[in-house]
Amino acid sequence: MIVLGIESTAHTFGVGIADEEGRILANINAIYVPRGGGILPREAARHHFLVADKVLRRALKVANVKLRDLDAIAIALGPGMGPCLRVGALMARALAVKLNRPLVPVNHCVAHIEIARLTTQSQDPLVVYISGGNTIISAFAEGRYRIFGETLDIALGNFLDTLARELGLPQPGVPQVEALASKGTKIIELPYIVKGQDMSFSGLLTAALRKLKEGIRVEDLCLSVVEYAYAMLAEVAERALAHTRKKELVLTGGVARSKRLQEVLRQVAEEHDAVFKVVPDEYAGDNGAMIAWTGVLAFRHGITIPIEKSYVKQRWRLDEVEVPWRS
Amino acid sequence: MEIIRLCVISKGAEAIIFKELWYGIMVVRKVRIPKKYRSPMLDLVLRRQRTSLEAKLLIEAKSLGVPVPTVFEVDLDNTYILMEFIEGMRLRDFIPKMPLDERIKSFTQVGNSVGRLHAHGIVHGDLTTSNMILTSSGNVYLIDFGLGMFSSELEDRGVDIHLMLRALESTHAAYVEECFKAFLKGYESVMGVKETRKILNKVKEIRSRGRYVSERRVR
């Protein structure tokens, strides 16, 4: 069985191809980089329109697969930005109709978890999923990926990216902020906000920007911000690990590339005798392969969606999705 | 007389809780342990702040007549609190075994306690049924103010109630309605109808604020 998956929930337009054995035959991704500021959904969608054709062709070529070899088309229908989602959905529907193949709906967050499980060979991990759009701590229970903690406002990646922009640093901001943080020497006091199992980063952002105006050394600010944010995340992850008693802790999503975050979570895992694993860099950020692989898992369990019902779902929560392949 | 360590009650993410015999009294020693994953500077600051704050909250709550453990000793260098050991059952384990009227009585008391805390500028911060101890006298003690704070903000009160409701939904799905209704009855008896309604509206708003939640679609 060969499934082609399309990702277009935010800044990345990606096409991946995966087979039943979990081999990733192709993973081609084009990333929209805003000229300044954050992602403008309509501009990102325009970018996706312009590259879609090339990305698809390249993926087929790399995989050495013809369109007629495909058994199903998987599409990330959400969550994400409407205009971006619609580009991928349009292409997926067109392919499904043209090839007369079933369309398989994939939740973007589930895909980040599944690609991490596949590539780190994890069985039943506690997953820390951190990206520009999501900050979720999740584990599988009773048929779904349940949420054991999340942000109440902005995502961790979004928070650090925004700070980086305010500091005049190029995007993506996380490595930039971390590089400055490594030169910091002092940790200043900032709001540390954990409410139950949920985190809030918007207050931290406001406080950080205020400190910046007061003229604090940028390196110290970055160090403080990174340490506070990761400590908040670590605390919630640690509690979730203690609560669920999972023996694996897996980090996934775009911010999984952060070395400091990896170090922090590795220590959390060690304290609770869990094995720590990180999704490989190429599958950390949004990518087509994760949609293709999750498409394989779903399609094997007969999950398809009629074209006329394949609406995009901007707010499709992770814990709304049934996950029969884990039951 | 001396101090005899009896056992470890729990080893949580943040603290180790020991049961000890302290000059003839049964006590709990809550020690906040260093975390390797955060920088030592931030670690000590957080542990001190939290130990001090938790002690203040407990003492203040006690003075309001809310059933909470009595604080005997606070040590900010070794970041521990020594407090009364509350003999009883965790409400979490007991809820399914309780007759309906006792469940209602317990949650009305919890509502009353939380109302009193809120009315005097305290939020508990972690209102799960694991943090409620039912004693043989039928009193429900609130424990673990580790995530509590001094605040009279509508937002913080709302989050408190939201967490309480979510804990009921995730752990006691069959009893959510009756328990929460009883809770609100107790809460309203302190805070009044108007204030309670205001807070419930806030809870609704907080729930709709989460990312990608179905409540948000209604707008």
Q: What is the pLDDT of residue B1?
A: 66
B104 and B154 in a single domain? The answer is yes
Are B161 and B206 a contacting pair, CB within 8 Å? no
Question: Which fold, A124-281?
Answer: Nucleotidyltransferase; domain 5 (3.30.420)
Range of the domain at B72: 3-84
Of A187, A227, A317, nearest to B212 by CB-CB distance is A317
B45 with B9, same domain: the answer is: yes
Tens digit of pLDDT for each residue in A85-94? Answer: 999 999 999 9
Is the fold of A2-112+283-326 the same as that of A124-281? yes
Kindly give the interhelix angle for A218-244 and A202-213, rounded to the nearest 10 degrees. 160
CATH number for position B163: 1.10.510.10
> Is the CB of residue A187 less than 8 Å away from at least one CB of chain B?
yes
What is the distance in angstroms between the Cα of B24 and the nearest Cα belonging to chain A? 33
Q: Are residue B58 and residue B133 in the same domain, yes or no?
A: no
Looking at the structure, do residues B101 and B208 belong to the same domain, yes or no?
yes
What is the CB-side half-sphere exposure of residue A86 using CA atoms within 13 A? 9
Domain boundaries, chain A: 2-112+283-326, 124-281
| Interchain contact, A189 vs B45, CB within 8 Å | yes
Kindly state the greatest CA–CA separation across chain B. Answer: 65
Mean pLDDT in consecutive groups of 10 residues from the start of chain B, 219 residues: 89 89 96 92 91 97 98 96 96 91 96 98 94 95 94 95 90 89 97 96 85 47
Q: Quick one: pLDDT at residue A91?
A: 98
pLDDT for the residue B101: 93
| Residues of chain B contacting A187 with CB distance shorter than 8 Å | 39, 41-42
Catalytic residue from among B77, B126, B156, B160: B126
Both B9 and B116 in one domain: the answer is: no
Q: What is A2-112+283-326's CATH number?
A: 3.30.420.40
Biggest distance spanned by C-alpha atoms of chain A: 62
Are B143 and B71 members of one domain? no
Does one domain contain both B112 and B212?
A: yes
Q: Is B42 on the interface with A (CB under 8 A)?
A: yes
Residues B80 and B143 in one domain: no
Q: Which among B53, B127, B211, B219 is the top mutation candidate for probing chain A, defined by the most A β-carbons within 10 Å of its own β-carbon?
A: B211
Cα–Cα distance between B119 and A211 in angstroms, integer? 33
Shortest CA gap A286–chain B (Å):
18
pLDDT tens digits for range B112-143: 999 999 999 999 998 999 999 999 999 999 99
Domain count, chain B: 2
ipTM attached to this prediction: 0.76
Q: Sign of the CA dihedral A81, A83, A84, A87?
A: positive
Residues B70 and B97 in one domain: no
Spell out the per-residue pLDDT of chain A, length 327, in tens.
999 999 999 999 999 999 999 999 999 999 999 887 889 999 999 999 999 999 999 999 999 999 999 999 999 999 999 999 999 999 999 999 999 999 999 999 999 999 999 999 999 999 999 999 999 999 998 899 999 999 999 999 999 999 999 999 987 889 999 999 999 999 999 999 987 788 999 999 999 999 999 999 999 999 999 999 999 999 999 989 988 899 999 999 999 999 999 999 999 999 999 999 999 999 999 999 999 999 999 999 999 999 999 999 999 999 999 999 998
Q: What angle do CA A39, A127, A143 make, to 5 degrees?
A: 105
Last residue of a domain, one of B84, B105, B126: B84
Please tell me whether residues B80 and B94 are part of one structural domain. Answer: no
Active site residue B126: yes
Please tell me which residue of chain B has the smallest CA distance to A136: B211
Residue B218 has a pLDDT of 41
Tokens of A2: 């060969």
B64 lies in the same domain as B123: no
Give the pLDDT of residue A62: 98
Write out the two tokens for B78. Answer: 């070794």
Please say which residue of B67, B84, B101 terminates a domain.
Answer: B84
